[in-house]
Amino acid sequence: MRAPAVARPVVRRRGSPTLIGLGVLVAWAAWRATTSRDVLNTRGWSSFAEFWTAVLDPDLNADFLRLTGEAMLTTASYAVLGAVASVAVGLVGAPLLADRPWESATGSRALSACRTAARWVVRALFVVPRAIHEIIWALLLVQVLGFDPLVAVLAIAFQFGAITAKVYADLLDDADPAAFRSLRAGGAGWFTAMVYGLVPIVRRDLIGYGFYRLECAVRSAAVLGIVGLGGLGNQLDLSFESLRYDEIWTLIAALMILSGLADRWSTAVRHSGSDVAVRSSWIALLVLVPVSWWYVGIDVSALWSERTRRLFGDLVDDMLPPRLGPGGWSELIEATVDTLAMSVLATVIAVTGGLLVATVAARPHRPDDGVVRRSAGWVARLVLLLFRAVPAPVWAFLVVLVMFPGIWPGAVALGVYNTGVLGRLFAEVFDDHDDRARRQLDTAGAGPVEQFTYGVLPVCAPRLVSLAVYRWEVITRETVVVGVVGAAGLGRLMQEHLVARDFAAVTGTIGALIVLAVAIDAIGRRLRP
C-alpha cells in the first residue's frame, strides 16, 4: 500500500527581502535600546538574588494565606465575569462584522449603501477597543467609577469583547457557505440562515475560543489588580513596594494554581471534543457567574447614576479634543519609536525563548521516551506556566532591580511573560502537527535532532510564524502595561499625563498607540504565510 503523501513544508529562500528587513529591524531596535541609555544597574544584584532565594521560604502564615485566598477568589471572579461579558459582546458583534451574513442581502441601492456605511461604522467602533489595552480602559474607568469591581469587568469586556467579535466574525466567514446559501435561496432571512446554516458548523470553535478567553482573562484580571482594583495583582504590588519577597512567592504560587486550572479547563474544552466536557463546563459557568457576581459585589446601577453621568461628561470634556503633551511632537515621536523598539526586542526574546522551551515541553510522541525525557517535559511546562502566570508588570518590577529604566527592562519583562504564552502555544503546535514526516525519518534511522530539524520544524513553520506575528501585535499593545510601571515608551508617557491629569494629552498618546498598533497589524498581515 502506498504511503500517504507528507505535507509539503514551506521553505523560504535565504536572504529574502522579508528576512533581511526583519534582521535590520531587530538590529536597529537593539542599537536604540542599548545606546540611548545606560542599561545595567549593578547595585541591584543583591536584591535580585534575594528575590530568587526567597522561593525556598514563601510566607505560609495563616493570616497571609487567608488574604491570598481572598485575593485569588477576587481575581477569579473578575476573570469569569469579564470572559462571559466578552463572549456576549462577541456574539452580538460578530454578525455585524462578518461578510457572509450580508452577501445576499437585498434591497434598493440606497438601502444597500446605507447598510454598507453602517457596517463600516460598526467596524470602526470595534477597532478602537481592540487596539487599546485593558489597563488603559481601567485607568480611564477609574476616573468615573472609582475603584469599583465593575471597572475590572468592563475593562476586560471592552478589549476582549472586540477581539472575540473579530475572531467569531472570521469563523463565520471561513465556514462552508453551502447550507447558508441554500437557506437564503429558500427564502430564509439572513439571521435565520446564519443561525441554522453557519453557527452549527463553527459551534465547537466558538465555544473553544470562548473558554480560551477565560484563560486569558485570568492573566488580565491579575494585571488590573496592579492599578488598585484588588485581587492577586494588587497584593503583588503591595508586597513589591515593601520588598516582602516571601509574600511575593506565596502570591506567585496562587497565580500559578489559578492560571494552571484555567489552562486545564480551557484545554479540556478545546481539545477533548467531548459533549460531556462542554455541557459540564456550561453548568459550571451557570454556577460561577452568579457566585462571582455576589463575591465581588457588582452593582450595575452605578453605570447610570447621576454621579457617573456627571463624571463621564467631565472626562469626555477633558479628553477631547486630543492634544500633545508638554514635550510636543518630539516627545510623542520619541516615545512611539521607543515603543516600537521595545515590542520588536520583546518579540524576539519571546519567540526565541518560547521555541527553545516548547521543544522540551511538547509531549513526547515515541513510546520509548524515558523518565528523563518526560520529567524534562514537566519541568519545561512548569517554567512556561510560571512565566505566563506572573503579570508582565511584576516581571518589570523585578527587572528594574538590575537594569536602569528604559527600553530593555520593558522588553525583557514582556519577553519573559510572552515566552510563557508563546511557549505553550508552540508546544501545542508540536503536539498536534502531522507526524508522518518525522516517523519516516525515524524509520530511516535519523536521530532526534535530524527528526526535529527536517521532520517537525518545516511542517510546523507556517503555524509558528503566524503565532509569532500575532504575538508581536499583542506585545505592541502590552508595552503600555510595563510603561505605567517605569519602562520607556508610550506607556510611560501616558502614565505621566495621567499623574498630571492632562487627559487631552492622554487621548493624543492613545491615538499614537492606535496608529502604531494598526501599522503593525498591517505588517503582520503581510508577514503571515
Scanning 273-305, the segments in alpha helix (DSSP H) are: 275-296
Q: Do 66 and 388 form a contact (C-beta atoms < 8 A)?
A: no
The predicted-structure confidence for 222-266, as pLDDT tens digits, reads as follows: 888 877 888 998 898 889 888 899 999 999 999 999 988 988 888
What mean pLDDT comes out for the span 112-125?
77
Question: 267 φ, ψ to 5°?
Answer: -65, -40
The predicted-structure confidence for 404-416, as pLDDT tens digits, reads as follows: 888 999 999 999 9
Per-residue confidence band for 83, with pLDDT thresholds at 50, 70 and 90: very high
Cα separation, 361 vs 427, whole angstroms:
6
- Determine the longest span between alpha carbons in the chain, in angstroms: 77
Q: Which residues pair with 40 in a beta bridge?
A: 403
**By mean pLDDT, which of 288-297, 313-322, 388-397 is the weakest?**
388-397
Cα separation, 480 vs 140, whole angstroms:
14
Q: Do 164 and 89 form a contact (C-beta atoms < 8 A)?
A: yes
Output the pLDDT for position 64.
Answer: 94
Q: Do 424 and 263 form a contact (C-beta atoms < 8 A)?
A: yes
261: left (phi over 0), alpha (psi -120 to 50) or beta: alpha
More confident residue, 5 or 64: 64
Q: Which residue has the cell 520529567?
A: 375
Residue 440 CA, chain-centre distance (Å), reads: 37
Question: 313 φ, ψ to 5°?
Answer: -60, -40
Q: How many CB atoms lie within 10 A of CB 374?
A: 12
Q: Do 114 and 186 form a contact (C-beta atoms < 8 A)?
A: no
Domains of the chain: 62-302 (1.10.3720.10), 324-527 (1.10.3720.10)
Burial category of 63 from C-beta neighbours within 10 Å (exposed 0-12, middle 13-18, buried 19 and up) = exposed
Which pTM does this prediction carry? Answer: 0.84
**By mean pLDDT, which of 43-47, 52-56, 116-120, 398-402 is the weakest?**
116-120
Q: Which residue has the cell 471572579?
A: 77
Output the pLDDT for position 282.
Answer: 85
